[in-house]
Structure 1
Amino acid sequence: MKIKSLILSTGVLFLASCATQTMNQKFTYPETKKTEQSDAYFGENVSDPFRWLEDDMAADTKDWVQRQVAFTNDYLAKIPFRDQIRQQLQNIWNYEKLGSPFKEGDYTYFYKNDGLQAQSVLYRTDKNGNTEVFLDPNKFSSDGTTSLSGVSFNKKGNLAAYRISEGGSDWNKIIVMDAITKKVIDVTIENVKFSGLSWKGEEGFYYSSYDKPKGSALSAKTDTHKVYYHKLGTPQTEDQLISGGENFKRRYLGAGLTDDERFLILSASNATSGNELYIKDLKNNTDFIPVQQGYDYNTSVVDSKGDEVFMITDKNAPNQKLVKMNIRKPGVWTDVIPETDNVLSVTTGGGYLFAKYMKDAVSYVRQMTYDGKLVREIALPGQGTAGGFSGKAEEKDLYYSFSNYVMPGTIYKYNVDSGKSEVYYRPNVKFNPENYVSEQVFYTSKDGTKVPMMISYKKGLKKDGKNPTILYSYGGFNISLQPGFSVVNAIWMENGGIYAVPNIRGGGEYGKKWHDAGTKLQKKNVFNDFIAAGEYLQKNGYTSPQFMAISGGSNGGLLVGATMTMRPDLAKVALPAVGVLDMLRYNKFTAGAGWAYDYGTAEDSREMFEYLKSYSPLHNVKKGVCYPSTMVTTGDHDDRVVPAHSFKFGAELQDKQSCSNPVLLRIETKGGHGAGKSTEQQINENADKLSFTLYEMGFKSLK
């Protein structure tokens, strides 16, 4: 279905009515009380009149949420083409989705979704080709909001443990089963958070968690991680504390065994960047051996062979390199794959190393020996993102996925001996890549820095400044935005829209230096890069302020919030999702204090406090300013970025908005930070976002 009534002969959307479609509307927002709360920072008092919204357990907060939900639903119900966009999304979403297969024991496992199932199902095939359901998360709850967070098998493949999340919460439960009979065989491990799961033979497994906080499990601070060992057949109360607690207080702890189960690896950190690394040699029964201490670098174990341990690190290598060390000489590291100009990541499979590089956010891959010798450059299907190339050492056929903004994700089978790739699974999506363009441009930011951006749209686009455009980015935590296909973006482009993604600073596209250039007292580089991307699109005729929306989630929600308060004239629509929006108090909730590497905190120094306050979205909403039409989205079970950020920011905007651009809070019930949402939840949320965006840009009807 297309927006035919809004398409010119060139196939470009145009404004069906004047830009003042809501200018005469008067909104009576749900009443939000104000209190006299304030805090002192270095002698300066900062008012926080909506502090009471931080209490997610309070009756008045719950009442306020319900009134906001009703207001938003009433507004969205008036959009005449909302249901049509929802139907478009449902139609394109309804195709079989298959994940790459992986082997455990005598079975080959794979995830599959028939099309509109709430959650993907884990299947398995035996050696005789018989396929059966192994785990069906759709049976975990009646409404599809309990999801499978992960599954881990022991080395033999006869035991499995899987984690479930209820309502999108980061708090998980672990359920243990006999993988052959599929019967639950042990107690359920509860109150697990930010945890991997690593089996030790058939005896038990390692996992991580925090003590369940007093008060709200969704918002109370969790800052002392612990690693436990659970022995099968014993109660959780008897689980052995391996590391953590008051004697080794770290905010994040993770433990795992190497494939040969000889080395127990412990990674410890207090922030999302920089870690300590310790290794226990179980064969020789050593204590934990310190391999890296302090938090200046990021180092993680990739594999081990005999006494040698292979690690990827950014120590003296901002773009990362692969090194090895002998456990008997942990201080001596030897380069295996040296640093290059492009960012490196490494996987293993088939007895080889696979060096995966990013060059201007696009993938290229090399197959290498464990001595660091090049076997071959792997020919990828085009310019885009390759993921996978991992498996057990004895497997000769590995799998990888490839996609970009206009190519649906396709799975390839790769033979490590011949180097040949063949299509394993190509999804039958109702989308023709030949009709679209995805181009990379480089633009100049405020301080002269060159920044890449991918711009994707339908062929035949006319650069007349009237194309609805979504500008999306993230800009933090060393996270890289590489090209990837989305059916939501496909619908947007099919109807004439532009989807633009700049690789701004704060991300990891150009290594540690690029990340650090968007942190702490340099954080405004991130916002300036994003603003410059919008200006580039407008100056070059792709769009104009009336037809542009800015979008981002989590740290990207901060990006949108800061941009719309710094430059309210840049875009017509703002879509901050699950955003970090109160920069003075973000570190008071759940594991938020761990984000200080990127942000700094208001308690660090007067300079840091003043800098944070100068861009904190919550503290920069001003009366007399016309802000974009805004839909703030969050989930009532978000215990990563607590919904109080969105609640308080939305309340400020509703209170101070000087024009008739609406401010909506879309609050997903039984929804968290994003992971685990049911298909129905995803379709409904994206239908609301896309229809709201077009409606606020002035479009009146779809046919």
Structure 2
Amino acid sequence: MAFSRQDLARPGDRGAPVSVVDTLHGRTVPDPYRWLEDPGSTATRKWLDERSREFSDAAATWPLRERLATRIRQLVSADLWSLPVRRGPLVFATRRDAGAEHPRLLVLRDGRERVLFDPATDPSGLATLDAWEPSPDGSYVAVQTSRGGTERGELRVLSTASGLPVEEPVPGVRYSNVAWLRDAGEAAFYYVRRDDHDGRRGVWLHRVNARPHRPDALVHACTATRTVPGVRLLGERWLVVSESHGTGHRTDLWIADISDGSPERPSLAAVHVGEDAESEPVLSPDGRLYLRTTLGAPRRRICVADPATPEPADWREVIPEDSGATLDGFTVGGTAGAPELLVTRTRLGVSELTAHDPRDGRTLRRIGLPGEGMVSHLEADSDGSVHLYYADVATQQGVFAYRPGDHQPRPWPETKTAADTDPAAAPDPPAVRRHTTRCRSLDGTRVPVTVFSLASAHDPWDEPAPTILHAYGGFGRPRQFGFSATVLAWLLAGGRYAVAHVRGGGDGGREWHLSGAGRNKIRAVRDLIAAGDSLVAGGYCTRGQLCLSGGSAGGLLVLAAAAQRPDLCAAVIASAPLTDMARFEKLGLGPMWTREFGTVSDPEDFAALLAYSPYHRVLDGHACRYPAVLLTGFHGDTRTDAAHPRKMCAALRGAGAPVLLRYEYDVGHGPRAVTRAIDLAADAHAFAAARTGLYPR
């Protein structure tokens, strides 16, 4: 491959815009807005100030902006708990109180609660609580925080008794797994580094407040580049180490018995390494190892093994694959004498929860759920119960507890709050109607499309209405129908909301993902175009009432669809999108995503990338008759990098297309304060309302 590249302006001429032309595989690729990749240059800052003024002027004219913000704020005004974690007599959980900006970490005992950590007390005002894990006896809690949305932060060990740190923080962590050792003679835990803090990536052992001081021990170094390490402890004995290979369907897995050796030097035995499969292990109360796996089952199955002989040749299948649903999660609850295997599957966005006999997989019962929604994060408690999240389109996410033998889970915590007892504080959720249709993509593939509308006395499909069509289509992630205050506010305002289950996502399992990934990514774009056409043909909306919406990889998808078919819709919302697919490997986490999109270093991958890359489609003259576009960018984004929306906005402006950029500082791709999340959602949907004709009623 022949590369001829000019880099960004050097510090000496910092701020001077430079137009660049690359030569890739013998093809000239212009990049006139390369200078916008430098977020700190004078030219970039001045350009962003101009875009912010344009956005503010336009947003002030949108009729539904304040009404949507008020409605969203009302819908999220509820206490929001995390799953509880029990350590002896103590229970740890986070709760974001109604009206609060961030969740706080609480410790509960005998019905009394105490705040252990509150990110709002951080002097910067920009901190988020990313993860936490209490020690086995509950005397310590490892807390991970980051600032400004970067998701790169530090890990602090707090004393549960005082809430104060007991040592200096561990730097360079990013959503690290933390696995505390039990009965180690001193407090210690395994954790992972993913951000090349010291040039090595892998699993480390940290001893808390060690005397004398000892540096953290590298327990397992990543064996391949661009892998994400993971670590877990199953019971008191089994250490599990994993390496996920980018965004593909491969996870290498090892296990070690640490009961008879040094925790610094565990003897890791391969469960499977080099297999095109991913597996998640759980230890049952009777000591057997259960694995949810794609090995031999694209939609996943569950097998059981002896942890001392964990190779696939010794596995026995207990829950077979379901060809029509994806097996999302599982755990083993109950006791050693009466265990129950809980399994959740997703069938076109709706969860199913079943209990099985773990010995033979026999179905014991189908567990009733509050509605047609989403179940996630099954976690077994030490008392044999299982906690889980449940949410649906009209119901805020809540924690539920299931006890073996029950036919339905019960809300947790059981103590009633004001929102539970005051009808004015918690009005009944509106009735939402869900309808699934199928469209035919360019190659004949039938793609599901789910449409939501408020249920009413008359048929909600009688006449066209302003409609948002959402798609993601990446990384094998299925679309699940959990709670979204933004979506519900849109429905309450009289709009419709649709989800296209395009290829590249996980709605049809692994094969559905791979058929829309890599060089096949254009199929996901065509699926979305077909979904938009089908909504219009079916009378759900007119073209002037249709707005495409997607974030991150979904932002790439909706922009690519609009570039392919400018007449498809009236508007596009692309939040923190990928846009420059010739440069994505040099921005944010792009190097981790070559299994999803391909690599520019391969000529065939490069040709496929450039064929749908939104930035280059605009530069090639495909912005004529472009629909109105709202791009959002976050200055602290370390995933997709805010250079993508900056460059896309500049390209669209240069081509004369109608575009606005909503740009935020001190936030990133992940969690943010509630007020900022509400403002973002209200702005995006007020833009859609103004462009599709949804006005106050």
Contact 1:108 1:124 in 2 (8 A): yes
**Counterpart in the other structure of 1:268:** 243
Residues 210-221 of structure 1 aligned to structure 2 (within 5 Å): 210=194
Bigger mean CA deviation after superposition, 549-558 or 53-62: 53-62
Take 1:496 and 1:476, find their aligned partners in 2: how far apart are those partners?
30
Matched AA of 1:569? D
**Counterpart in the other structure of 2:99:** 116
Which of 444, 457, 461 is matched with 1:448 structurally? 444
| Residues 652 and 366 of structure 1: CA distance in aligned 2, closer, same or farther (over 3 Å) | same
Residues 395-414 of structure 1 aligned to structure 2 (within 5 Å): 395-414=383-402
Residues 57-206 of structure 1 aligned to structure 2 (within 5 Å): 57-127=40-110, 129-141=111-123, 143=125, 145-201=126-182, 202-206=186-190
Mapped pair 1:376 → 2:376? no
Which of 297, 300, 304 is matched with 1:320 structurally? 300
Bigger mean CA deviation after superposition, 96-105 or 171-180: 96-105
Take 1:124 and 1:497, find their aligned partners in 2: how far apart are those partners?
42
Bigger mean CA deviation after superposition, 309-318 or 676-685: 309-318
**Counterpart in the other structure of 1:350:** 334
CA-based RMSD of the aligned residues comes to: 2.6
| Residues 370 and 258 of structure 1: CA distance in aligned 2, closer, same or farther (over 3 Å) | farther
Contact 2:92 2:108 in 1 (8 A): yes
Matched AA of 2:343? A
What is the DSSP-based 3-state SS (H/G/I as helix, E as strand, rest coil) of the residue aligned with 1:183? coil
Take 1:135 and 1:225, find their aligned partners in 2: how far apart are those partners?
29
**Counterpart in the other structure of 2:614:** 617
| Residues 559 and 691 of structure 1: CA distance in aligned 2, closer, same or farther (over 3 Å) | same
Which of 219, 225, 230 is matched with 1:250 structurally? 225
| Residues 430 and 620 of structure 1: CA distance in aligned 2, closer, same or farther (over 3 Å) | farther
What is the DSSP-based 3-state SS (H/G/I as helix, E as strand, rest coil) of the residue aligned with 2:581? coil
| Residues 154 and 59 of structure 1: CA distance in aligned 2, closer, same or farther (over 3 Å) | same
Matched AA of 1:60? A
Bigger mean CA deviation after superposition, 359-368 or 72-81: 72-81
| Residues 301 and 683 of structure 1: CA distance in aligned 2, closer, same or farther (over 3 Å) | same
Residues 509-528 of structure 1 aligned to structure 2 (within 5 Å): 509-528=507-526
Offset at residue 108 of structure 1 (A) = 2.3
For each residue in 1:133-153, what CA deviation from the matched residue of structure 2 results, as whole angstroms up to 9, or x when unmatched? 22222222464x311101101
Take 2:122 and 2:295, find their aligned partners in 1: how far apart are those partners?
44
What is the DSSP-based 3-state SS (H/G/I as helix, E as strand, rest coil) of the residue aligned with 2:234? coil
Take 1:258 and 1:212, find their aligned partners in 2: how far apart are those partners?
24
Offset at residue 648 of structure 1 (A) = 0.8
Take 2:63 and 2:348, find their aligned partners in 1: how far apart are those partners?
41
**Counterpart in the other structure of 1:12:** none
Mapped pair 1:686 → 2:681? yes
For each residue in 1:109-132, what CA deviation from the matched residue of structure 2 results, as whole angstroms up to 9, or x when unmatched? 3332332211022323212x2222
Offset at residue 492 of structure 1 (A) = 0.6
Which of 260, 278, 293 is matched with 1:298 structurally? 278
Offset at residue 298 of structure 1 (A) = 1.2
For each residue in 1:203-228, what CA deviation from the matched residue of structure 2 results, as whole angstroms up to 9, or x when unmatched? 211222245679xxxxxxxx963322
Offset at residue 679 of structure 1 (A) = 0.7
| Residues 83 and 669 of structure 1: CA distance in aligned 2, closer, same or farther (over 3 Å) | same
Contact 1:633 1:666 in 2 (8 A): yes
Contact 2:228 2:246 in 1 (8 A): no
Bigger mean CA deviation after superposition, 485-494 or 347-356: 347-356
Bigger mean CA deviation after superposition, 332-341 or 523-532: 332-341
Matched AA of 1:314? T
Residues 223-234 of structure 1 aligned to structure 2 (within 5 Å): 225-234=201-210
Bigger mean CA deviation after superposition, 682-691 or 438-447: 438-447
| Residues 671 and 468 of structure 1: CA distance in aligned 2, closer, same or farther (over 3 Å) | same
Take 1:457 and 1:648, find their aligned partners in 2: how far apart are those partners?
36
**Counterpart in the other structure of 2:559:** 561
Which of 209, 218, 229 is matched with 2:193 structurally? 209
| Residues 420 and 488 of structure 1: CA distance in aligned 2, closer, same or farther (over 3 Å) | closer
Contact 2:16 2:43 in 1 (8 A): no
**Counterpart in the other structure of 1:596:** 594
Residues 467-616 of structure 1 aligned to structure 2 (within 5 Å): 467-604=465-602, 606-616=603-613
Contact 1:224 1:252 in 2 (8 A): no
* Equivalent pairs, count: 653
**Counterpart in the other structure of 2:29:** 46
Take 2:305 and 2:120, find their aligned partners in 1: how far apart are those partners?
45
Bigger mean CA deviation after superposition, 484-493 or 547-556: 484-493
Offset at residue 59 of structure 1 (A) = 3.3
What is the DSSP-based 3-state SS (H/G/I as helix, E as strand, rest coil) of the residue aligned with 2:355? strand
Contact 1:384 1:484 in 2 (8 A): yes
What is the DSSP-based 3-state SS (H/G/I as helix, E as strand, rest coil) of the residue aligned with 2:386? strand
**Counterpart in the other structure of 2:404:** 416
- What percent identity do the matched residue pairs reach? 28
Take 2:234 and 2:566, find their aligned partners in 1: how far apart are those partners?
53
| Residues 684 and 254 of structure 1: CA distance in aligned 2, closer, same or farther (over 3 Å) | same
Matched AA of 1:203? A
Which of 322, 344, 355 is matched with 1:340 structurally? 322
| Residues 584 and 676 of structure 1: CA distance in aligned 2, closer, same or farther (over 3 Å) | same
Take 1:601 and 1:457, find their aligned partners in 2: how far apart are those partners?
40
**Runs of 5+ consecutive residues of structure 1 not aligned to the other structure:** 1-31, 215-222
TM (normalized to structure 1)?
A: 0.87
| Residues 90 and 408 of structure 1: CA distance in aligned 2, closer, same or farther (over 3 Å) | closer
Offset at residue 684 of structure 1 (A) = 1.0
For each residue in 1:45-93, what CA deviation from the matched residue of structure 2 results, as whole angstroms up to 9, or x when unmatched? 1111111211224333233223322222222223354333323333333
Contact 1:565 1:617 in 2 (8 A): yes
For each residue in 1:364-394, what CA deviation from the matched residue of structure 2 results, as whole angstroms up to 9, or x when unmatched? 12212332343322122332222344222x4
Take 2:117 and 2:320, find their aligned partners in 1: how far apart are those partners?
42
Contact 1:187 1:236 in 2 (8 A): no
For each residue in 1:311-331, what CA deviation from the matched residue of structure 2 results, as whole angstroms up to 9, or x when unmatched? 221111111111233344343
Take 1:258 and 1:634, find their aligned partners in 2: how far apart are those partners?
38
For each residue in 1:531-572, what CA deviation from the matched residue of structure 2 results, as whole angstroms up to 9, or x when unmatched? 111111111111111111110111111111111111111111
Offset at residue 419 of structure 1 (A) = 3.7
Offset at residue 398 of structure 1 (A) = 3.0
**Counterpart in the other structure of 2:671:** 676
Take 2:175 and 2:22, find their aligned partners in 1: how far apart are those partners?
31
Offset at residue 685 of structure 1 (A) = 0.8
Take 2:577 and 2:466, find their aligned partners in 1: how far apart are those partners?
23
Take 1:236 and 1:574, find their aligned partners in 2: how far apart are those partners?
55
TM (normalized to structure 2)?
A: 0.88
Take 2:306 and 2:375, find their aligned partners in 1: how far apart are those partners?
32
**Runs of 5+ consecutive residues of structure 2 not aligned to the other structure:** 1-14, 414-418
Bigger mean CA deviation after superposition, 189-198 or 296-305: 296-305
If asked which structure has higher relative contact order (CA below 8 Å, sep 6+), I would say 1
For each residue in 1:333-381, what CA deviation from the matched residue of structure 2 results, as whole angstroms up to 9, or x when unmatched? 2223222223213223334321111223321122123323433221223
| Residues 105 and 590 of structure 1: CA distance in aligned 2, closer, same or farther (over 3 Å) | farther
Take 1:91 and 1:279, find their aligned partners in 2: how far apart are those partners?
47
